[in-house]
Amino acid sequence: MLFLAACASAPVQEMSDARQAIRSAEEAEAVRYAPQQLRAAQSSLEKAQDNLEAGAYWSARRLAMDAWYQAIEAREQAARLKKSNR
């Protein structure tokens, strides 16, 4: 029952986590070192926002979590490439 209640509510925390992860990736220069991954994260977050506004909370939650993961990947790749370029 708790699971159903969690899915029925707006994914506020997941959206916030995804936004923070994208900002972190941008600060790590993912725009330069991992642009495809960063753009994928941004695109997933945009789709999550569209789903949120449409009331499709389950899809919004899934897309926000995807955006978070993609942003983390972008940040990590940027860090690796920056380190290897030193």
50 pLDDT above the threshold of 90: yes
pLDDT score, position 54: 97
Q: At what angle do helices 12-27 and 57-84 cross, to 10 degrees?
A: 20
pLDDT score, position 1: 45
Q: Does 3 or 22 have the greater pLDDT score? A: 22
Find out whether 61 and 11 touch, Cβ atoms under 8 Å: yes
Find out whether 71 and 22 touch, Cβ atoms under 8 Å: yes
Cα–Cα distance for residue pair 58/55, rounded to 1 Å:
9
28 pLDDT above the threshold of 90: yes
What tokens appear for 11 in the block? 């994914």
The pTM score is 0.88
* Mean pLDDT value of segment 23-38: 97
pLDDT score, position 7: 56
